[in-house]
Chain A
Amino acid sequence: MKKYNYFLATSLMILFSIATSFAQDKEAKITLTFEKIDSLNVCKALVMSEGQPVIEVPVKLSVKRLFANLPIGDAIATDSTGVATFEFPNDIPSKNGKLTIFASIVEDENYMDTETSGEVNWGTVVVTDNSNVDERSFSAGRDRAPIYFIAISLVILGLIWGTLLFAVLQVFKIKKLGKIQEIKE
């Protein structure tokens, strides 16, 4: 009997995956709407499938950042009208104030993975003071080293290498003195 166990388990797994894939076959469409209620940013994701609102399906909300999307809280399930309502934070930084928000259904039992996105003007514009970038400092680039530091470094290097050059010149002076002695002899 044991030797059939492996066969049985494999068959069951295949059957299960076929059943799951058929179950996930339903397509759903998400529509994102953005509202301002009092001072709150509210984002609503309406999930429809075959013309009907989809209830109790978890929707994930995220916002586009430089490399990947930043999740906004946990997934929220749609209500009886097929809407998942999110309170969107108002302190997400953005260059021009615009944010691209994504709503998605991922790995649901009944619906295929789907995603939609929308752009809204909810970002906090970050004003960076880069006026000190051009200042000379230790942390600046090679072109922006402090003048006094460059001057001191050059003086020290000049003194040391000057002394070394003096020493090398003395060797040639020794040679010259030797030649004078040869002529005398």
Chain B
Amino acid sequence: MSENINIPESTKHETFTQQEYMVMKDDLLRPIEKIGKAGKIWIAFLVAVLLAGVVAYIIQETKSKYVTTSLRDYTMWGIYISNFLFMVAIGLVGVLMSAILKLTNFEWYRPLSRIAEVIAIGAIMFGGISIVVAMGRPDRLLNLFLHGRIQSPIIWDVIGITTDLTACIILLFIPLIPSLVTCKNHLKNLPKWQLKMYNMLSFGWQGTPEQWSVLKKTMKVLTALVIPLGVIICTITAWLFATTLRAEWDSTNFGAYFVSNAFLLSVAVMTLATFIFRKAYNFEKYLTEMHFDKLGQALVLMALIHGYFNVNEYLIPAYKMSGLHENTLLNLFTGKEAAFYWSVVIFGIIVPILLPLFPKMRKPLPLTIISIVVLIAGWFRLYLIVIPGLLHPYLPIQDVPASWTHYFPSVVEMTVVAATFAGLLLVVTLFSRYFPIISVWEVAEGELEGKEEIFNYK
């Protein structure tokens, strides 16, 4: 331990050789070559849940939505929309764990960046699907593009999501090009179509200095672009609510509140993904305890920022307790939803602020457990924004059927939401089965930091 401390940072990686690079390449490409029994069962399980969701959606669309869902006149947005918010929030993981760390030269981003980008793509994709699922008339989806009003936040959201998804896919693909050549040259025991796919997608990569220069320049531009794009998506999603007439959403703080929540959930989802990949693919050498330590620190910071916005969002309106806010705030603080609300505050904000302050809690297992708790609380926090908000309109609810005055998701709704999670996990799992989930050349480049040598990553 003391020996490590004495080694100056600049000379720490002097010993990184081509041989060590070959070992690293073997380690990082192994998951593509071998799919164990557990891996196959996992994929089959995800496909089954996804198919169950498809069947549930077909049932929803072929039978009356009044019967198959619990959506009514007041709660016209149920868990589909709160789930959409959650997906958009964790979609910011690519921005935080890849783009921001990359541009601010935090070197520990290297093994995490591709994992983060794949999660972001899966989350944004299934976030978009969640909206379509929530639509009363999905057959009119095209009308949003053909007849949408540019003044409407819904159109901004549609444009934002498609743009961000495209940007994330391109940003994932471009640094993947050298990795595809590595796969093509290194992995031999693969089906021919897979090798052909690597060859086709590698776009004639030779690793020349000119190609590296073009690749890095493009990566830099795209990395800088996805940061405002990700923040814009989260903010527009918040505006969908802030521009709708409901007391709970009547807030100028909503955009920032959503972004801070997204950053908090991004750190949590990154921790969980890092833990799973580390265990499942034996990546302990690359996804180290240092990463968990850093993620733990980031979790505290993000929870503090989100806590700050929570004070602005709830306690300041509660101090005034104006007539409009009283109805919804008292319901959350002391009313029907109080137990729910305070659990979300404790597990979603206070726990991630306090526990990771202790170094022992920043070890892989404790931090992952904290992250799971934060993610569950985060999902319910968004649920608490959507549903009680809708159930507390400006005009009191009178003379309506009892089922309109409360909301509990139906089996169909819960199955579809479970399927979106399965879909997200399937995208990440399948990607990691066909492509290196940790960028070999980016990690190697990190090891070679400080040297002028151009490494041949072929």
Contact = CB atoms under 8 A, between A and B. Distances in A.
Interface of A: 138-142, 145-146, 149-150, 153, 157, 160-161, 163-164, 166-168, 170-179, 181-182
A167 B174 contact: yes
A175 B208 CA distance: 11
Contacts of B229: 160
Contact of A174 (B151, B167, B171, B211): B211
B177 A174 contact: yes
B281 to A, nearest CB: 28
A76 B218 CA distance: 84
A142 B149 contact: yes
B204 interface: yes
Contacts of A160: 163, 167, 225, 229
Nearest to B205: A178
The winner among A170, A174, A177, A179 for most chain B CB atoms within 10 A is A174
Interface in B144-165: 147-151, 159, 163
Chief secondary structure at chain A's binding surface: helix
9 contacts: A150-B150, A161-B163, A164-B170, A164-B225, A171-B177, A171-B218, A173-B214, A176-B204, A177-B214
B221 A149 contact: no
A170 B174 contact: yes
A163 B203 contact: no
B270 to A, nearest CB: 24
Contact of A170 (B159, B163, B206, B218): B218
Contacts of B206: 177-178, 181-182
Where chain B touches its partner, the secondary structure class is: helix
B150 A166 contact: no
A156 to B, nearest CB: 9
A166 B221 contact: yes
B167 A164 contact: yes
Interface in B207-234: 208, 210-211, 214-215, 217-218, 221-222, 225, 229
A115 to B, nearest CB: 28
A138 B208 contact: no
Given A149-B151, A167-B222, 20 more contacts: A138-B151, A139-B151, A142-B147, A142-B150, A149-B150, A153-B150, A160-B225, A160-B229, A163-B225, A167-B170, A170-B174, A171-B174, A174-B177, A174-B211, A174-B214, A174-B215, A177-B211, A178-B203, A179-B204, A181-B206
A122 to B, nearest CB: 33
A62 B181 CA distance: 83
A135 to B, nearest CB: 13
Nearest to A181: B206
B166 interface: yes
Contacts of A149: 150-151
A153 B205 CA distance: 37
Given A145-B151, A160-B225, A178 B163 contact: no
Contacts of A181: 206, 208, 211
Given A149-B150, A149-B151, A164 B211 contact: no
A174 B215 CA distance: 8
Nearest to B170: A167
B170 A145 contact: no
Contacts of B215: 170, 174
B203 A175 contact: yes
Nearest to B171: A167
A179 to B, nearest CB: 6
B205 to A, nearest CB: 6
Contacts of A140: 151
B151 to A, nearest CB: 5
Interface string B70-100: 0000000000000000000000000000000
Interface in B192-208: 203-206, 208
A164 B177 CA distance: 17
Contact of A177 (B174, B208, B221, B225): B208
A175 B211 CA distance: 9
B167 A178 contact: no
Contacts of B211: 174, 177-178, 181
Considering the complex of A and B, which 9 residue pairs feature the smallest CB-CB distances, nearest first? A178-B204, A170-B218, A175-B203, A142-B149, A181-B206, A175-B204, A138-B151, A178-B206, A177-B210
